[in-house]
Structure 1
Amino acid sequence: MASSLSTCFLCTHSFKLKSLPTNKSSSLTTKPPCFTLPRVRFSPKAYKHDESASTTDSVETPPLQQSSPKPPQNPFSSLLHPLRNGWLKYDELWMEILSIALPAAVALAADPIASLIDTAFVGHIGAVELAAVGVSTSVFNLVSKVFNVPLLNITTSFVAEEQALISKEEDISGTGKSQNKKLLASVSTSLALAATLGIAETVALSLGSGIIMNIMGIPADSLMRGPAQQFLTLRAFGAPAIVIALAVQGTFRGFMDTKTPLYAVGAGNFLNVILDPILIFLLGLGVGGAAIATVISEYLIAFILLWKLSDQVLLIPFDFDGRKLFSYLKSGGFLLGRTLAVFITMTLTTSIAAKLGPIPMAGHQICMQVWLSISLLTDALALAGQALLAGSYSLGNYAQARLIIYRVIQIGLGVGITLSIILFFGFGAFTSLFTTDSEVLDVARSGLLFVAGSQPVNALAFVIDGIYYGVSDFEYAAYSMVLAGLFSSIFLLVVGPIFGLPGVWAGLFIFMTLRVLAGVSRLSSKRGPWNVIWYKDGPQD
């Protein structure tokens, strides 16, 4: 999340701002938007653009005081001075970010590793079956990325906000942390949406598998048609488990607990690896056995997560909130558009590379696998920033919110530079793990500057996403991504066919750079939530 911070917003110490003397009449008497207390209906966020607009939808927010006579001209200019006042300071906040990000990174890596093992088992059946499973898996992953992942991100933010407000109320009342289970509207609404979405995906994918195969270019007389359709139909029955598990993972992330999802995902993937050889070879179920093993593991993950969640949250009775549902649907619509913009841009790069021939396409695929896999580390960091920021922002603790933003930017940039250095020296060895074909290796290694050089920009882009989500700035996240994708796609269509893979890689770099620039513009603005984050201090009690 790159940008230019102001000289009065320097590193860690810059958050200790001197307040002007104020009288009671000058304070705003509102509480942070988003949520009130548990069992109370919550209103969607409404941003305040000036101090006179102090109420929204009858939701009150806590007193705010001006933090300085002159608000910073550009809150991110202090990134130009990264070595001053606590660069990568190992304080309590740094350790809290690390404790959330590391388990999340391992959990994010668990699924791709299990998929590789899955692919290895299917590959021993035959080339046709392997290709068929590849087609069906790509369809299933596309549906999950477009419809399911937005629910995960929204749940994380909403639960973190509601949980922070509950903890604040317990502190004010002097009761301390309650040992009783809580009934959270954000959790109930998320689970209801997850169940509905999962059932709809099962019906659509199972009944429409034949139509989907035709769309994917696999005719009825193709050798791949039978196994591909069988695998997709069986995998569709795991959709409810997948969506519910993602919703519960979002809840645990909102609680800033990324260890529980790690254990659940690890257990499910371990079972999948055990069941694969038994069902595929021992029982002779072939491709169908691979699908069944995956579905069983998905239900195990969902069961473990729901079981652990029931220790903290009341799952029954169900506290369904119509206004909360509207917030989910509205935010989900924005993130759906954002996800589609990313998907279209990435698909376009693959299409242009494929037209260059099998050797360039194979080299490009290796570069993309490394490029995307490395992003798991910064995705986990973005997740940590999102959960912490959502809690501070919902309480109106804007000084702490600024500190979180600044610190995740620092760590993200540091991680990006570190990954860039590692890849500059180790990318050649990494490419050898994918193939022994000398021509493909030459093409892949020619992408060194793209894969390694873009890591700092990638890291900042992913961390910016987490900051958007932490303050529920989903609308801007969507519009900025659509515009970045549009400009990058135009560049790819014009330059890609002329310059080949260098043009494709340049287009991807421009895509990530535009995302960062859009983030710089938004975070340094006085619009939406950033007006209060940069220019107000919340209650210190």
Structure 2
Amino acid sequence: MTLDAVSWLWKSIGKMPLFLLFKDTRNVFRSDDIGKEIMQIALPTALALATDPIASIIDTIFIGRIGAVELAAVGVSIAVFNQVSKIAIIPLVSVTTSFVAEEDANERLSMEADDSEVLKKGYAVDLEMEMKELIPQVESSCKSSTLTKSYRRTDDRRHIPSASSALVVGSLLGLIQALFLIFSAKPILNYMGVDSNSPMLKPAQQYLTLRSLGAPAVLLSLAMQGVFRGFKDTKTPLYATMVGDAANIILDPIFMFILRMGVSGAALAHVISQYLISLILLWRLLKEVDLLAPSINDLQFGRFLSNGFMLLVRVIAVTCCVTLAASLAARQGSTAMAAFQVCLQIWLATSLLADGLAVAGQAILAGAFAKKDYNKAATTASRVLQLGLVLGLSLSVIVVGVLQFAPRIFTQDINVLQLIGLSIPFVAVTQPINALAFVFDGINYGASDFAYSAYSMVLVALVSITCLFIQSSSHGFIGIWIALSIYMSLRALAGFWRIGTGTGPWRFLREL
């Protein structure tokens, strides 16, 4: 084979969608326009996403001081609340972010086109006035200015129908979730392995029932966060979340120890913090968006709900996997559940940092697809994937160091500490896989590829659930973490397959 043939073959391979995802790796940390835009969105998002797990970790530390039974009970309740919430949260936030980003991009294009037309008309008026010399040049300029203003919106607030739709849907889903959890707390906990004779039942039911009162605020605040993400404004949600979580951390010891409310105090502190976050976000959103749509048809609930349903299917599949894992841990007793709760909180807190990159990719890609700027879409996808891999590798190192010393902060129970030690390799090694899986999700959401995301996740869940039953029965507590590692690997593979093969909305990669 000649040198020219080898060169041609190498270039051909380099143009395959599989390799386009990892092109220009030397630019991974480059501070160009794409790099700056990604960081401006990703960093505040990552911090905002990290604050809530950090607040939950602090909750866990306080509750661990009460006892191992209470720690395990709250662990089950948090797992239930989080998984039920995710059924509504992820479709709501993801669809909102993509649709708001698309509508905002289209509105900006429309305004730019209007401005261009206005300038042309204004220039024509000025030229005609000068030629006819009917009025002085100053008056002509004033009229031209007046003409320009007549074409501009007098209201500085944006008109984004998806923002109004998200708030309506979020409020209704929050109320439904609250009622469901309040009246079904005991049966759900029984299903999770906390039977009527378990000492975990009473504190778990108390915590879950009280925390469910905050469900409307959780759904509403996350719907508004989706709107701000669509605007590529992730600083506002960060500030609101930091204020709310700071209030939670302050109120925790007051309610739990000073007022002697125990686990109920931890739940109440969390509820108050969620309503505080919602009020801050709503106050800011009302300044930027006109939430009163001209008519019900402008809200486009059909489009919103149809795509949301696709993601709902996906989230149910995800929820089944994680909830089953928590249930299998709970069935092995309070010691196993307490260790699983500590490791899961750290696992999620670190892994969710990659969601900052996922949100950045989603917001930028949604705008790029709306403008049909496919070069920017390809560059953004490859950049966030590369950054996600680097982040995952870094987190692996950090987690190993932290988990060597951190477990004693949560509990002094020697049996719980022993199980946590066995989980460390799985929590650490899966960090790069988790990071890529989350980033792939954001990229596919940015391309509005919701159907593939749903169907692929159903297949992943079926395999993962089978692995959970087999591994937990044969290897016990460690088997649960083996199955979770397989689950995250399959999620990453599904995302990689879609983009790497250049199918669906990624067909344009074959032509670049």
Alignment counterpart, residue 370 of structure 1, candidates 346, 349, 354 = 346
Partner residue in 2 for 1:344: 320
Partner residue in 1 for 2:45: 104
Aligned pairs (5 A) from 1:479-490: 479-490=455-466
Contact 2:76 2:330 in 1 (8 A): no
Offset, 1:187: 0.6
Partner residue in 2 for 1:3: none
How many residues align? The count is 470
User: Are residues 1:75 and 2:75 paired?
Assistant: no
Partner residue in 1 for 2:163: 187
Calculate the aligned-residue CA RMSD, in Å: 3.5
Partner residue in 2 for 1:405: 381
Aligned pairs (5 A) from 1:45-64: none
The 1:433–1:319 alpha-carbon spacing in structure 2 relative to 1, beyond 3 Å, is farther
User: Are residues 1:468 and 2:444 paired?
Assistant: yes
Question: Match for 1:172: what amino acid?
Answer: A
Partner residue in 2 for 1:113: 54
Gaps of 5+ in 2: 1-6, 119-151
How far, CA to CA, are the matches of 1:187 and 1:197 in structure 2? 15
1:439-469 CA deviation, whole Å, 9 max, x = no partner? 6555544445433332222221111001011
Contact 1:352 1:497 in 2 (8 A): no
Contact 1:188 1:319 in 2 (8 A): no
1:414-433 CA deviation, whole Å, 9 max, x = no partner? 21222234445554234454
Offset, 1:471: 1.0
Offset, 1:435: 4.7
Contact 2:393 2:432 in 1 (8 A): yes
Aligned pairs (5 A) from 1:308-327: 308-317=284-293, 319-321=295-297, 324-327=300-303
Contact 1:102 1:380 in 2 (8 A): yes
The 1:215–1:252 alpha-carbon spacing in structure 2 relative to 1, beyond 3 Å, is same
The 1:260–1:352 alpha-carbon spacing in structure 2 relative to 1, beyond 3 Å, is same
| Local SS of the residue matching 1:183 | coil
The 1:253–1:287 alpha-carbon spacing in structure 2 relative to 1, beyond 3 Å, is same
Contact 2:15 2:510 in 1 (8 A): no
Question: Match for 1:160: what amino acid?
Answer: A
Stretch deviating more after TM superposition (133-142 or 166-175): 133-142
1:475-513 CA deviation, whole Å, 9 max, x = no partner? 111111111122233234334433455544443332222
Contact 2:366 2:447 in 1 (8 A): yes
Stretch deviating more after TM superposition (519-528 or 408-417): 519-528
User: Are residues 1:519 and 2:495 paired?
Assistant: yes
Partner residue in 1 for 2:390: 414
The 1:278–1:477 alpha-carbon spacing in structure 2 relative to 1, beyond 3 Å, is same
Partner residue in 2 for 1:451: 427
| Local SS of the residue matching 2:288 | coil
How far, CA to CA, are the matches of 2:352 and 2:395 in structure 1? 12
How far, CA to CA, are the matches of 1:353 and 1:139 in structure 2? 13
Gaps of 5+ in 1: 1-6, 15-69
Contact 2:84 2:319 in 1 (8 A): no
The 1:74–1:239 alpha-carbon spacing in structure 2 relative to 1, beyond 3 Å, is same
How far, CA to CA, are the matches of 1:215 and 1:530 in structure 2? 42
1:142-180 CA deviation, whole Å, 9 max, x = no partner? 221112232011111111111111112222222799661
Stretch deviating more after TM superposition (370-379 or 311-320): 311-320
Contact 2:56 2:345 in 1 (8 A): no
Partner residue in 2 for 1:429: 405
Contact 1:245 1:301 in 2 (8 A): yes
The 1:512–1:112 alpha-carbon spacing in structure 2 relative to 1, beyond 3 Å, is closer
How far, CA to CA, are the matches of 1:358 and 1:282 in structure 2? 27
Contact 1:188 1:320 in 2 (8 A): no
The 1:366–1:219 alpha-carbon spacing in structure 2 relative to 1, beyond 3 Å, is closer
Contact 1:107 1:261 in 2 (8 A): yes
Alignment counterpart, residue 304 of structure 2, candidates 328, 341, 355 = 328
How far, CA to CA, are the matches of 1:135 and 1:353 in structure 2? 9
The 1:369–1:271 alpha-carbon spacing in structure 2 relative to 1, beyond 3 Å, is closer
Offset, 1:358: 6.7
Partner residue in 1 for 2:234: 258
Stretch deviating more after TM superposition (300-309 or 438-447): 438-447
Offset, 1:389: 0.8
The 1:371–1:122 alpha-carbon spacing in structure 2 relative to 1, beyond 3 Å, is closer
- Matched-pair identity in %: 46
How far, CA to CA, are the matches of 1:399 and 1:386 in structure 2? 15
| Local SS of the residue matching 1:396 | coil
The 1:283–1:462 alpha-carbon spacing in structure 2 relative to 1, beyond 3 Å, is closer
User: Are residues 1:534 and 2:476 paired?
Assistant: no
Contact 1:114 1:269 in 2 (8 A): yes
How far, CA to CA, are the matches of 1:396 and 1:301 in structure 2? 36
User: Of the two, which has the highest radius of gyration?
Assistant: 2
Offset, 1:391: 0.8
User: Are residues 1:478 and 2:478 paired?
Assistant: no
User: Are residues 1:508 and 2:449 paired?
Assistant: no
The 1:435–1:198 alpha-carbon spacing in structure 2 relative to 1, beyond 3 Å, is closer
Offset, 1:338: 1.4
Question: Match for 1:170: what amino acid?
Answer: M
How far, CA to CA, are the matches of 2:77 and 2:441 in structure 1? 29
Question: Match for 1:452: what amino acid?
Answer: A
Contact 1:183 1:314 in 2 (8 A): yes
Partner residue in 2 for 1:44: none
Contact 2:64 2:410 in 1 (8 A): no
Partner residue in 2 for 1:271: 247
The 1:267–1:211 alpha-carbon spacing in structure 2 relative to 1, beyond 3 Å, is same
- TM-score of the superposition, structure 1-length normalised? 0.76
Contact 1:488 1:511 in 2 (8 A): yes
Contact 1:183 1:319 in 2 (8 A): no
Contact 1:189 1:319 in 2 (8 A): no
| Local SS of the residue matching 1:256 | coil
Offset, 1:87: 3.9
Contact 2:45 2:235 in 1 (8 A): yes
1 or 2, which has the higher helix percentage?
A: 2
| Local SS of the residue matching 1:174 | helix
How far, CA to CA, are the matches of 2:192 and 2:427 in structure 1? 29
The 1:167–1:207 alpha-carbon spacing in structure 2 relative to 1, beyond 3 Å, is same
- TM-score of the superposition, structure 2-length normalised? 0.80
Partner residue in 2 for 1:196: 172
Contact 1:382 1:465 in 2 (8 A): yes
How far, CA to CA, are the matches of 1:170 and 1:344 in structure 2? 45
How far, CA to CA, are the matches of 1:460 and 1:514 in structure 2? 11
Partner residue in 2 for 1:307: 283
How far, CA to CA, are the matches of 1:217 and 1:491 in structure 2? 19
How far, CA to CA, are the matches of 1:456 and 1:275 in structure 2? 35
Offset, 1:89: 2.1
How far, CA to CA, are the matches of 1:443 and 1:127 in structure 2? 14
